[in-house]
Structures are given as structure tokens and as C-alpha cells.
Amino acid sequence: MNTNSYPSITLSSEQLSGRIAVVTGASSGIGAATGKLLAMRGAKVALMARRKNLLDQLVTEITASGGAAFAFEVDVTNQASVDVAAQAVADKLGVVNLVVNNAGIMLPAPIVEGRTEDWVRMIDLNVTGAMRVIGAFVPVLIQAAGDGQPADLVNISSIAAQYVFPSFAVYSATKAAISHLSRHLRMELGPKDVRVSMIEPGIVATELQSHVTDPGTLDWLVSSKKTMDWLQPEDIAEAITFAVGLPKHVNLQQVTIMPTRQV
């Protein structure tokens, strides 16, 4: 008989008590839902995005429900903006031990259209922007882990990192970069007790779809809504919160989340 006891996972409001979290892309969608749920579970949350007015509204909603959240206007495509925000979070909240690297954009189109400005936007935000956040906060996560705290870097990727979709070549390449980057970072940071997780959702009902202008992709999106229930941002937030709430010796490295009917 195995007499070893395994720590139970509680989903109470105290689950993440003592955690200090940063969530990028927090003004809507997955970022907003994750910020709300982390705060509900007891974390102090630094919400980061460009749209400060939406962040302020979210802070009001979270604090009214008894959570702790703070808004930081950040453009992750600007190194100085990220550096200033990282210092502001340190001054306001202390040592960050949880980062959800979520900011991103999706602008699919056939490659022959040569939408170079869209390619640059996706690469700069989805890849370089994510790296700016990693560069700013990984040393802090290592510090937190060294102090005996759980420490997590969660990178939001996509099933586009694994699958092949028409018109998604550049977007998919950016997400493949994030997924493979996460695998490498786990090898570097795991021995320092920093967990690295990548979340690869299927189609989620967020603002990303509102940025799409490619007619073929728009037709597919309309059609898919008739044949499947899309994931909701709250579904992804639940998975993230579960992963970072596990005992600190457990690293849920890769989570692929799909609508049941999406193939």
C-alpha cells in the first residue's frame, strides 16, 4: 500500500495567496479573464496592456469582488515601456513570482499578398514582445524561486504552433517560436526551480478575430461558429490557474486546449 500523501489542490479563494502575478495583454480576452481568476484565487495581480482605460475598469471590477489588482500601461513592443513597468511593479508589489506572457495579435492572410507591415507587427508583438517580458521578469522569477517561493512563467501559444492552416503562415511561425522557446527555457530554468508552461489553445472567442481582414479566414470563422462551441477566455484562465496552483515540484509543461468539435 502506498502511504505517501499527495498535497490536495484547493480551488478556494486562498489557492494562490501570497503570489504576485504579472499578466500581459490583460485588457481583454484571455489576459483579462486570467487576471480576474488569479485575483479571485488570492494573488496580487499586475495587469499590463496598452489600453489603460480598460485596465482601470478591470481593476475596479476585481477590487469590488475583494481581489487585489493594479493597472500598468505597457507597450511590449517598446523596451523602455516594459522596463519602466517592471520597475513600477517591483516598487508597488515586490518580487514577482508568476508571469503570464499573453500579449499577441493575429493577422492572417495569404503570403502572396505580401502584407509586410502585418508580418512585422505579428513578429514584433508575438515574439519580440514576449521576449522583452521574459527578459524583464525571468531574473525576478529566479530570485523568487531562490527564496523558496513557487515561480512560474506561462507563455500563451496556440495550436497554430502545431497545425497547418491556410493563410496563417506568419502567425503560426510566431506561435511555433513561442512553443519551442518555452521548451528551451524550461531546460534552462527548471534546474533553478522556475516552472515554464506553454498553453496552446484552439479557437477562443477573443478580440483576435476582430482584427482579421482576410476574406477566406473570415468565412471560416463564421462557418466554424455554426459547427462548434468556441472556447471562452475563462476556459483558458482555469487551465492556467490550475497549472500554477500545483505543488511547486510539478510542472505542467504543455497544455493543448481544444473545443471539443474542433479537429
What pLDDT, in 10s, does the model give residues 45-102? 999 999 999 999 999 999 999 999 999 999 999 999 999 999 999 999 999 999 999 9
Q: Which residues contact 17 (CB under 8 A, 6 or more apart)?
A: 42, 43
Q: Which residues contact 188 (CB under 8 A, 6 or more apart)?
A: none
- pLDDT exceeds 80 at position 8: no
- pLDDT exceeds 90 at position 11: no
CA distances from 245 to 16, 84, 116, 251 (A): 7, 29, 41, 10
Task: Output the nine-digit C-alpha cell for 253.
Answer: 509543461
All structural domains of the chain with their residue ranges: 20-257
What pLDDT, in 10s, does the model give residues 187-241? 999 999 999 999 999 999 987 777 788 888 888 888 888 899 999 999 999 999 9
131 or 5, which is more confident? Answer: 131
Q: Write down the pLDDT at residue 147.
A: 97
Could you say which of 171, 206, 233, 245 is catalytic? 171
Burial (CB count within 10 angstroms: exposed 0-12, middle 13-18, buried 19+), residue 7? exposed
Distance CA 245, CA 19 (A): 10
- pLDDT exceeds 90 at position 15: no
Q: Write down the pLDDT at residue 2.
A: 46
Q: Write down the pLDDT at residue 3.
A: 44
What pLDDT, in 10s, does the model give residues 98-144? 999 999 999 999 999 999 999 999 999 999 999 999 999 999 999 99
Confidence at 12, pLDDT banded by 50, 70, 90: low
Q: Is position 6 annotated as part of the catalytic site?
A: no
Q: Write down the pLDDT at residue 263.
A: 82
DSSP code at position 257? E
Confidence at 7, pLDDT banded by 50, 70, 90: very low
Q: Write down the pLDDT at residue 216.
A: 83
Q: Which CATH architecture has domain 20-257?
A: 3-Layer(aba) Sandwich (3.40)
The closest of 186, 215, 48, 177 to 38, measured between CA atoms, is 48
Helix (H) and strand (E) counts in the chain: 8, 7
